[in-house]
Homo-oligomer: A and B are copies of this chain.
Amino acid sequence: MLKQYCQEKGKIVDHALAAFVPSENVYPPKIFEAMRYSLFAGGKRLRPILLMAAADSIGGKGSDYLNVACGLEMIHTYSLIHDDLPAMDDDDYRRGKLTSHKVFGEGMAILAGDGLLTAAFTVMLAQPGVQADVLIKVIGEISNAAGALGMIGGQVIDLSSEGEKIDIDTLSYMHQAKTGALFQAAVRAGAQLAGGAEWQIASLTEYAKQYGLAFQITDDILDVTGTQEKIGKPVGSDVKNHKATYVTLYSLGKAQDMANQAVTNALQALKQFGQEADVLRELVRALLTRDN
């Protein structure tokens, strides 16, 4: 059921993204080409799907909020383009495809990222069918999650701690900021756009926190147990790069225990939700068996 849901919603998101970032009748065409290259480079559309599943979980209709959902994907994609730049992680490949700066050059890659970040707001602000004050609140939260106190701040810590030893508090702050904050904004956006009650929004926020934690720990585990073919980068690259991870700071076994606990906590946060929340439950359970 989860696979079907993700495929179905993924298609809807792809279709909407293609319309939001068109390739025809645009000038200058190169920048749109670069923006689309990364947007359609095999992303799993996890943030849009989390938004939609959160809206569904309280009886809303997730696909009514495609503008905000796609905005989240555009923000995520811009962050990958900039993270891959030579001045940052200097990665030539992502998901087995050449990174933006390898294809379009560094200057254009920076601009493609800037373009996607800016367009994300254009697209989100054009979200139809939502009360204007609710929309402002939701996009405000997303901008906060994506900013210097959130995703960008996490990348700053990542960048400045390369090759240095960081402690577990810094590591967990970094991940919460770099990845967790946008997951949380996605889930909260779905809940708020669909008109969730306070208790529902609070429960979904807790779910999202635990989801983010489980996502990051299993990401670190995959770096050790995954295959290059599936994860799209050399196995053990974190260890090789002396990167602090949940596995290197604890152990593989302990990291697996922690991931299990986070999933249990996420499910617990949904205990008052009916079967409408089954997709969210499956999404977090799936992290324990992910291979990419």
- A interface vs B, CB < 8 Å? 26-28, 30-32, 35, 78, 82, 85, 87-88, 105-108, 110-111, 113-115, 117-119, 121-122, 125-126, 131-133, 135-136, 139-140, 143-144, 146-149, 152-153, 155-157, 159-160, 173
A214 to chain B, nearest CB (A): 24
Closest chain B CB from A79 CB (angstroms): 8
- 14 more contacts with CB within 8 A, not counting A115-B147, A117-B117, A125-B139, are A27-B149, A28-B156, A35-B148, A82-B114, A85-B107, A85-B110, A87-B106, A87-B110, A88-B107, A118-B147, A118-B148, A122-B140, A122-B144, A131-B132
Determine the chain B residues whose CB is within 8 A of the CB of A131 once the complex forms: 132
Chain B nearest CB from A33 CB (Å) reads: 11
22 contacts between A and B (CB under 8 A): A27-B149, A28-B153, A28-B160, A30-B156, A31-B148, A32-B148, A82-B110, A87-B105, A87-B110, A107-B159, A108-B159, A110-B110, A111-B159, A114-B114, A114-B117, A118-B146, A118-B147, A118-B152, A121-B121, A122-B140, A132-B136, A135-B136
Contact B140 A126 (CB under 8 A): yes
B153 lies within 8 A of A114 (CB): no
Residues in B neighbouring A122, C-beta threshold 8 A: 140, 143-144, 147
Stoichiometry (number of copies): 2
Q: Chain B CB within 10 Å — which of A88, A113, A136, A148 has the most? A: A148
